[in-house]
């Protein structure tokens, strides 16, 4: 790969890290950039595996930044991260034997519902007025949804971070900023699972992934810092914008082809 192409992938990784840190959805930038940069002969599994390395680096950097301002509830996050890890292993295995395109129709429907809900509920994402009481049934529902998103993340990925953020805010009654460190850690567990499986199968181009990871970290740190300084309303606006763009992209791919 020539230096100019690698530099372009670095710019894409920086932008992906920034967007992922604020609202999720960075894969919308990094995955198409990798398909373009690596060429049509590259297997989808290799694109996904390489993307997961740079995504994981940024996710962890953003999680550390957010956790300094909003402590992580490990009793809640650790079991969800473990579940996400296991489910993402299954999803990563699926990407080696099936096309990720089969999930596009489902993702279009889910993201449309998320966008409508967020747009029509203007207080969505603001911290609750009192202590957030989450029933066991609600926690079980969140765990189930995390498992499903884990499979999707290992299998394909774009929009998964946004779905996790929505799930933590809606299901666990957290504000956007309070939810962010837990979301990043759960998402990191998913990425790690995919990396371990796809890496073992030789589907990671480390010479590309590592420089992109460094750029993603820089973007993630900047995005998290901006989100913290601007507050929940800024994150909500970015979240809605990202969900809308991902929805339009997946919808276009579904109806007209990638």
pLDDT in tens, 83-115: 999 998 887 777 666 666 666 676 677 778 878
CA–CA dist 46, 50 (Å, integer): 6
- Using 50, 70 and 90 to split pLDDT, how confident is the model at 42? confident
pLDDT on residue 135? 80
Whether the CB-CB separation of 50 and 204 falls below 8 Å is answered with yes
Domain of residue 107 covers 3-256
pLDDT on residue 221? 96
Whats the size of the chain, residue-wise? 258
Mean pLDDT, rounded, of the chain:
85
Return the closest-CA partner of residue 240 out of 118, 107, 106: 118
**Residue 176, token pair as written in the block:** 């956007």
Return the closest-CA partner of residue 192 out of 220, 150, 158, 149: 150
Whether the CB-CB separation of 168 and 105 falls below 8 Å is answered with no
* pTM (predicted TM-score): 0.84
Decide if pLDDT at 75 tops 60.
yes
Secondary structure of residue 47 in the 3-state scheme: helix
pLDDT in tens, 237-255: 888 888 888 778 777 776 6
- Using 50, 70 and 90 to split pLDDT, how confident is the model at 151? confident
CA–CA dist 73, 67 (Å, integer): 10
CA–CA dist 214, 61 (Å, integer): 10
**Any idea of the CA torsion for 245, 249, 255, 258, to the nearest 10 degrees?**
170
How many domains are contained in the chain?
A: 1
Decide if pLDDT at 181 tops 80.
yes
pLDDT on residue 204? 93
pLDDT on residue 148? 87
**Residue 55, token pair as written in the block:** 């995504």
What mean pLDDT do residues 45-52 have?
88
What mean pLDDT do residues 138-162 have?
83
CA–CA dist 126, 138 (Å, integer): 19
- Using 50, 70 and 90 to split pLDDT, how confident is the model at 158? low
DSSP single-letter state for residue 124? T
Decide if pLDDT at 129 tops 60.
no
- Using 50, 70 and 90 to split pLDDT, how confident is the model at 117? confident
pLDDT in tens, 191-204: 898 899 889 889 99
pLDDT on residue 228? 93
- Using 50, 70 and 90 to split pLDDT, how confident is the model at 258? low
Residue that wins the pLDDT comparison between 155 and 146: 146
What mean pLDDT do residues 145-152 have?
88
Query: What is each CA distance from 200 to 85, 160, 210, 212, 254, in whole angstroms?
Result: 16, 23, 17, 20, 31
Range with lowest mean pLDDT among 15-24, 102-111, 119-128, 245-254: 102-111
Return the closest-CA partner of residue 18 out of 6, 30, 8, 7: 30
Alpha helix positions (H), the chain: 3-22, 27-38, 44-67, 74-95, 104-120, 136-155, 160-171, 176-200, 206-230, 232-256
What mean pLDDT do residues 167-192 have?
90
pLDDT on residue 101? 62
């Amino acid at each position: 790969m020539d230096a100019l192409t690698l530099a372009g992938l670095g710019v894409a990784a920086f932008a992906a890290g920034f967007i992922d840190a604020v609202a999720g959805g960075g894969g919308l930038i990094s995955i198409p950039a990798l398909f373009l940069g690596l060429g049509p002969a590259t297997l989808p599994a290799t694109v996904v595996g390489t993307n997961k390395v740079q995504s994981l680096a940024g996710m962890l950097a953003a999680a550390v930044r957010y956790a300094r301002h909003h402590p992580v509830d490990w009793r809640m996050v650790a079991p969800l991260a473990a579940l996400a890890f296991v489910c993402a292993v299954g999803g990563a295995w699926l990407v080696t034997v099936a096309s990720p395109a089969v999930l596009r129709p489902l993702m279009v429907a889910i993201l449309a519902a998320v966008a409508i809900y967020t747009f029509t509920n203007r207080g969505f994402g603001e911290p609750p007025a009192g202590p957030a009481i989450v029933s066991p049934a609600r926690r079980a529902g969140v765990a189930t949804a995390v498992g499903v998103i884990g499979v999707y993340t290992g299998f394909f990925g774009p929009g998964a971070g946004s779905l996790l953020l929505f799930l933590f805010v809606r299901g666990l009654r957290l504000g956007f900023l309070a939810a962010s460190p837990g979301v990043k850690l759960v998402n990191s567990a998913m990425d790690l699972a995919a990396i371990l499986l796809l890496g073992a199968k030789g589907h990671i181009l480390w010479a590309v992934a590592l420089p992109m990871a460094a750029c993603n970290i820089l973007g993630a740190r900047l995005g998290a810092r901006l989100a913290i300084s601007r507050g929940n309303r800024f994150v909500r606006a970015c979240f809605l914008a990202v969900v809308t763009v991902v929805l339009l992209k997946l919808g276009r791919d579904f109806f007209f082809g990638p």
